[in-house]
Structure 1
Amino acid sequence: MFIHWGLYSILGKGEWIRSHQKLSIEDYQPYFESFNPTKYNPRDWAKAAKKAGMKYVVLTAKHHDGFCLFDSAYTDYKVTNTPAGRDLVKEFVEAVREEGLKVGLYFSLIDWYHKDFPKFGDLNHPMRDNLDFKDEEIDFDNYLTFMHNQVEEIVTNYGKLDILWFDYSYEALFGEKWRATELIKMVRKHQPDVVVDNRLETSGEGFGSIVTDNINLYSGDFVSPEQIVPHEGIRNYKGEFIPWELCLTMNNNWAYNPTDKLYKPSSVLIRKLVECVSKNGNMILNVGPDALGCINEESQSILADFGRWMDKNSEAIYGNGYAGLPKPEWGYYSRKGNTIYAHVLEQPIGPLALIGLSEDNIKRMSFLHDGSEVKISKSWTTFAYEGICFAQYGEVPHFTYPLPNPIDSVIKIELKG
């Protein structure tokens, strides 16, 4: 679960609202002065994530607006100076750990509040077109020292972190412009096991050096495509899979936006998870709690649908990856060791063609959700298709029977060896 939450949740127009509407610090100040999420209970978030089958949760400890949900010693622009009056990151990491989930924190490399971050002419800064800042002199090294200090707070004040999600690099601001080698060495010193994304080098638009034969120290551990599933996963220059994770919204906004009702159906999101796994990838699904700290009903409903499907079929997700077989027309294959999982998304007519699998190598087949037998079909309708193995469920070989789950019916195929 990805969680985008901060001052922008009060406006309800997305986390980029300062940039999109070119709001000054003064324009934005009322939201700082009124931030008081009286219903904030990160245990509710963690329980919802766990019930949905998620294994870790990543929270925006600091987004581009510069506001910190943690008690930073290097700025006054933090949650402890709002009516909330306490370190909400601390409560978050404790709640997530209590549910047995892995802890992740998102940290923006960008800061639209800091006086020494580039403004006029920048691609994104709210004051990018404000002539008052055209000739402003800034000390970017001072900003970098500040940013590094805050990252060190994140990686030293909250115990073991499992994921550190940096965001993001663009134009000339990438790699060593962030003093990235120094930064990642400091992170690894304090958190040697933490998994880091690739956005010290790039954004969702690119992969970075992790796919090349010259991997930088700060390349990250995985690629983070955004709002699009790579058509064949992500591979390096040798054609080998590298770790990747789709980051995806339920509607079209990361942060809370009550007017955005364009939610993707649960069936689509579940199938996208399956597609990612079939391509040796993973998925992190976002929620944007409201200003009070609550996850809305639409998001809760989607999470509940994930939970119901995962409760029966998670074996075909956890620990699974690319099956090394041609993609079937009816869905996807995933694989874990000597077991193939056929994710049947489309209703077959008659027996199901298991393209790429040999009858001689199949030990047993069953539906994953209930363990009921799936047979190798000997229907006369298949005789013309020599060399293709067909699966049959239902009593009459050439009849068409409805799939047990309209979202994804998973057939567990155990191989002989």
Structure 2
Amino acid sequence: MTGVPTDSADCAESPDSTAWFEAARFGLFVHFGLYSMAARHEWVRSREAMSQEAYDRYLDRFDPDLFDARQLARAAKESGMRYAVLTAKHHDGFCLFGSALTDYTSVRATGRDLVREFVDAMRAEGLRVGLYYSLLDWHHPDFTIDEHHPLRGTAAEEEPRDMARYRAYMEGQIRELLTGYGKIDTLFFDFTYPEKGPEEWGAEHLLSTVRALQPDILVNDRLGVPGDYVTPEQYQPDRPLERAGERVTWEACHTLNGSWGYDRDNHDYKDPALLVRMLVQSVACGGNLILNVGPTGRGALDPQARATLRAIGDWSALHERSVRGAGPSAHEAPAAGLYTQAGNRLYLHLPVWPLKHLHLPGLAGRVRYAQLLHDGSEILFSELDGTRHEHNNLAPPSQPAGTLTLTLPIARPDVLLPVIELELDGAE
């Protein structure tokens, strides 16, 4: 994917609401392209300073016979994801859609419009649809050579190149994507960096064009001008994100193993339990999580990715209401716990399982009922008056007045992340 995202906030021309996005909370990112065949990171052409001729060995053999968008859509939905984003064009310039502006496309190579397949499949499963479009293009003859370009340090640096022509090309492709595939819910541009910024992209004009073509679309912050949501990458915020004292809509972008594209020899996969905690922490801090998969060179998910999505799906099937439609809580969570809240339902997520008793400050007299969310089993609770500890009148005071004490089973529930649902007394 990218470098460091730019700061952003909602702008005056933004859509009226990001409500669906913030309610969804969890999305799927799919990075797929020619680099998937190299199987050593999506930046392989830049990292290895590969010529176009050398890189085209992948184009000549590109055959995504196992790319099944319907299967991807089902996997996303079963994992609890409610939107999905596909790399329509990555930094190498190869397009997964049919374009009248270039032959460097999956349609020309294979006869398949993978964006069309993806969009149709996601819609059929009721998921919102997003497209990723790289502002970089190492294939286009007018994209000027910079520090990221594979041809840096070669004679190609002396060739005449015209970013104005490249900007016209980008705008033309954005028009194709936003007029040829029906409603697109999100557009993920990638990315602004020191050598190229808003002026090089014609960012204001490009964003205005996007708004004119699809007024309800949500656009991220990586054009270098304000968008609708900010995109911390491979970084997990531990508090709500703000700009000028106002909270902003955000989405943490994470990989399964540190690589966005398929990386055969990278086995640094995050544990599913960690990924679930990251999702919950995002929601607890008012954000979303979009989790990436990089299909193999033939277009299939590798076994570890499939197993990870299944494990997350097993957790989501029992706990989804603690994240989908939920958000931050004004209540202070206990140490090592995370709160999310939806209306009068407060969800306590427990990465570390306590020994029998769990003290919740400030909730005495405010909870009607408590249960483990995965099986609906009741959790008993009591209130402390601040003068004694339960079951031991000789013990010194250990908790302040207003503390609610839950009595938990000794055995930790056999789920990735246990959740206790607290029904609060009255709407909050």
Query: Shared topology, TM-score over 0.5?
Result: yes
Q: Indicate the structure whose relative CO is greater, using CA pairs within 8 Å and at least 6 residues apart.
A: 2
Q: Which residue of 164, 171, 177 corresponds with 1:148?
A: 171
Q: In the alignment, which residue of structure 2 is the partner of 1:5?
A: 32
Counterpart residue type for residue 408 of structure 1: L
State how far apart, in whole Å, the 1-side matches of 2:341 and 2:206 are: 37
Aligned to 2:424: 415
The answer as to 2:410 corresponding to 1:401 is yes
| Shift, 1:407, TM fit | 2.7
- Alignment map for 1:241-260 (pairs within 5 Å): 241-260=247-266
Match of 2:89 in 1: 62
In structure 2, the residue corresponding to 1:252 is in which secondary structure?
coil
Q: Does 1:304 align with 2:310?
A: yes
Find the counterpart in structure 2 of residue 158 from structure 1. 181
1:373 offset after TM fit, Å? 1.2
Measured in 1, the distance between the counterparts of 2:201 and 2:298 equals: 34
The aligned residue for residue 43 of structure 2 is 16
Tell me if 1:380 matches 2:391.
yes
1:215 maps to none
- The offset of 1:74, in angstroms, is 0.4
Structure 1 counterpart of 2:279: 273
Once structures 1 and 2 are overlaid, which stretch shifts more, 155-164 or 346-355?
A: 346-355
Identical pairs, percent: 40
Report the AA paired with residue 150 of structure 2: P
In structure 1, the residue matched to 2:406 is 392
- State the Cα deviation string for residues 273-319 of structure 1 (Å, max 9, x = none): 01111111110000000111100110000000111101110010011
1:314 counterpart SS class: helix
Q: Which residue of 2 aligns with 1:173?
A: 196
Deviation sequence 1:253-280 (CA, Å, 0-9, x none): 1111111111011011111101111111
Aligned counterpart, 1:127: 151
CA distance in 2, matches of 1:390, 1:360: 8
Q: 1:102 and 1:228 mapped to 2: Cα distance?
A: 24
Q: CA RMSD in A?
A: 1.5
Name the SS of the counterpart of 2:242 in structure 1.
coil
User: Which residue does 1:351 correspond to in 2?
Assistant: 357
AA of the residue aligned to 1:320: A
Q: What is the deviation of 1:406? A: 5.1
- 1:206 maps to none
What is the aligned partner in structure 2 of residue 184 from structure 1? 207
8 Å contact 1:351–1:390 — kept in the other structure? no
Q: How many angstroms does 1:59 deviate by?
A: 0.5
Q: Does 1:198 align with 2:207?
A: no
8 Å CA contact 2:346, 2:421 repeated in 1: yes
Q: Following superposition of structure 1 onto structure 2, how do residues 321-340 of structure 1 map, counting pairs within 5 Å?
A: 321-340=327-346
Q: Specify the alignment match of 2:9 in structure 1.
A: none
Give SS of 2:60's match. helix
1:380 shift after superposition: 2.8
Q: CA deviation at 1:179?
A: 1.2
Separation in 2, partners of 1:248, 1:81: 31
Aligned residue number for residue 205 of structure 1: none
1:4–1:59 Cα contact (<8 Å) kept? yes
Give the SS at the match of 1:360. Answer: coil
Partner of 1:369: 374
Task: For residue 115 of structure 1, give the secondary structure of its aligned residue in structure 2.
Answer: coil
Q: Equivalents in 1 of 2:79, 2:369: separation in Å?
A: 29
How far residue 236 of structure 1 moved from its aligned partner, in angstroms, is 1.4
Indicate if the aligned counterparts of 2:151 and 2:157 stay in contact, CA closer than 8 A. no
8 Å Cα contact 2:238/2:281 also seen in 1 = no
Letter in 1 for 2:238: H
**Alpha-carbon offset, residue 350 of structure 1:** 3.0
Displacement, 1:393?
3.3
Structure 1 Cα separation of the partners of residues 355 and 66 of structure 2: 51
Q: Distance in 1 between matches of 2:157 and 2:286?
A: 47
Other-structure match for 1:28: 55
2:177 and 2:50 mapped to 1: Cα distance? 28
In the TM superposition, what is the alpha-carbon distance from 1:388 to its structure 2 partner? 4.7
Give 3-state SS (helix, strand or coil) of 1:113's partner.
coil
Question: 1:29-108 alignment to 2 at 5 Å?
Answer: 29-82=56-109, 84-108=110-134
Aligned with residue 138 of structure 2, among 109, 112, 122: 112
The amino acid across from 1:81 in the alignment is R
Separation in 2, partners of 1:236, 1:339: 29
Which of the residues 218, 226, 232 maps onto 1:219? 226
Using the TM superposition, give the Cα deviation of residue 376 of structure 1 relative to its aligned residue in structure 2, in angstroms: 1.7
C-alpha deviations, 1:145-178, integer Å up to 9, x for none? 0111111111110000011110000014222331
Checking the alignment, whether the CA contact within 8 Å between 2:163 and 2:200 is kept in structure 1 is no
Q: Distance in 2 between matches of 1:40 and 1:384?
A: 58
> What amino acid maps onto 1:40 in structure 2?
F
Tell me the SS of whatever aligns to 1:222: coil
Compute the TM-score of the two structures, normalised by the length of structure 1. Answer: 0.90
Judge conservation of contact 1:373–1:393 (CA < 8 Å) in 2: no
Number of aligned residue pairs: give it. Answer: 390
SS in 1 for 2:398: coil
CA distance, structure 2, for counterparts of residue 288 and residue 111 of structure 1: 20
Provide the rounded CA distance (Å) in 2 between the counterparts of 1:109 and 1:374: 52
| Secondary structure of 1:275 counterpart | helix
> What's the CA shift for 1:403?
2.2
Alpha-carbon distance, 1:129 to partner: 1.9
Conservation of the 8 A alpha-carbon contact between 1:345 and 1:406: no
